[in-house]
Structure 1
Amino acid sequence: MAFVSAAGYQPVYNPSIPYRHPIFGGLRAGMSVYLQGMVPNHVKRFHVNFACGGDIAFHFNPRWDGKDRVVFNTSQGGRWGSEENKKDGFPFHKGRPFELVFFVNVGGYQVNVNGQAFYHYNHRIPLERVDSLQVEGDVTVQSLSVVGGSGGGPMMTPGFPAAGMMPQPGYPPVNLPAMGGPTYNPPVPYRANIPGGVTPKRTFVIRGFMPNGSQRFHINFKTMNGEVAFHFNVRLNERTVVRNSKLGGSWGAEERGITNNPFVPGQYFDISIRSGNGRYKVFVNGQPFCDFGHRFQALQMINTLEIEGDVVLSLVQF
């Protein structure tokens, strides 16, 4: 089973509900919990609990009961505390996917839904006591991960109050080298420097969704000389994903073969690109998708990640 660790994360894909799993080492400021899911048409309610033994430090509970709202609370010693709720701007819709991020801060939990700041809930139980995560009710979870909070200081993100700081840089699964902290909801076109280049065993995580009416988007790994070492191009209008390289000013032979196309307008996706000694391995929504052999061998010279097209980015981490 995939684990969730205070020192890092390994995404859990399509878990059965109810889902319960420990957060080894406990929760601490700078961590974040990232969840992609779908609300079924028959929904009445679901909840996410940050639990500690028999207590619940933070209960996040969307409800559809004629007064659509989200309820927030804490349970200690078997008793619920004073309930907080939010009705305006209810972001969950029947039959539609959602993206939920809990940023864990010193003062409380900053909750973002679909890329927008939604609510801040102050700690009533010390966050260090939280030892497990629970998801129950009428919900389908596509992916869930905990991003650990080690490294440098927190970063501010547009639209967040001071209490809603970004998590600190985190770490991936123990069998991979350390990655930098995630960037949430970056604008498109997206361009970022890759310190040290695309070294073997490095992993790039890209999460987002294609809005309705989207046609295509691409991910480029480019060299300092402008060569495109790896071009990953999702083309909904052609019902395929094209892989290629552009070296010496010319595109090479396209690779188009796929067994299935997991990219659907209006739904979230999770892409993981791992650089190996001889190839890139691409996973989509936790499943192997394709391999692409290195055509540009000097991996340390690949220093730019570029994402463009009809896409809304939720998270980029490498």
Structure 2
Amino acid sequence: MLGAKFGKWVNDNIVFLVGIPLIIGVHYGWSKLQQNPNLVPPDRQKKEPVLEDGTEPEEWKNGAIPTAFSEDLPRPLTPGCCIRLRGFVQPTCSRFSVNLRCGKDSDSDIALHVNPRLSQRYVVRNSLLGNRWGIEETTCISKPKLSRNQPFEMDILCSESMFFVSINGKHVCAFVYRVLLAKVKNIQVVGYVKVSDVEYTTLDVYPQSSPKNEFYTVPVIEEPVVSTENTLEVPLTAKLPTGLKLGQQLEIHGKVKILPSSFFINLQEGTHMWPHPPVHLHLNPRFNTTSVGKYMFVRNAWTNGDWGLEERCPGVHFSPGSEFVVVIRRGNNHFAVWIDGKLAGEFKFRADADKVNALYIQGDVTIKAVCLRTKATDACFTKKPKRFAL
């Protein structure tokens, strides 16, 4: 791994995560919007005030916004480069911005404008090209955890086609390049934050496991345990400690949200989202089809660097606001997918299933529990599915 602080590159060693999406969510889907949920049409952009009361904070009036940090990059950005920013959010801060600029002059183009809004708990992304702001992107797959009077850490990773942004170890959003990556020359931080450290690194995978970003481990159990009202955070990135072996089954207990667009479940290799991991099974209920009241249930796999041929059927297994139990069983040459006690389909292996070691879930769904059983059983299929305190 290459690393540097404030422009000085050094060599050091790192043990990185071996063997999950997605902005994931970013590359998954069936249209440009669903392949990258951070690309939002103009008519769906949020137009929220800066503060909850509809006013702008004092520090953003009259152009009196302090520049907390500005520095030329030590070398051109390439895929795998990561800018790691550490700092402190001051008590008067309501929002701040991190700009990757094509120069250090005040009128330079901005290739990436990352603007966390503390009160609204989302991150605005945009670009400034030729003194014109582009279309804002505001959708985040998880809410940024930023608080006044607290330290923060932000990673900006460069991939082949987009920036990935994580805050305090948690992936938040992405932004597809609008200018060539090689044109970025300068980083600028604006707002009421104190910058303590800027590190330039090269990553092999993103995001990386850390104390701030520990991945859930799916428990291996034989019997259900006490019911609970707790839920697992979505997007859910989870390790399968034994993989999914022949004869085993993976159980997912959840509930579809009231006004869903879609959600997906991936069995894949690795807990990273970049580089795109091989996905052995992609289950994708879609509710936003063109026909009102008609849903689709799509299965697919990502192998050899691309999505394969979709397998589709009517999505009668899921409905808005309903609970469900999905069971995935491994056979000799296929995955069998059961939903609420009914066989929803079989999906033949398109790669070596022994390499499956992770689960990823994202979208309009609440996950109650996930568990792995060493032997297939129908005990989980009841009219009132049991919930697990795991």
TM-score interval for Structure 1 and Structure 2 normalised by the shorter chain: 0.3 to 0.5
Normalising by structure 1, we get a TM-score of 0.43
Normalising by structure 2, we get a TM-score of 0.36
> Could you say which structure has the higher strand fraction?
1
Larger radius of gyration: 2
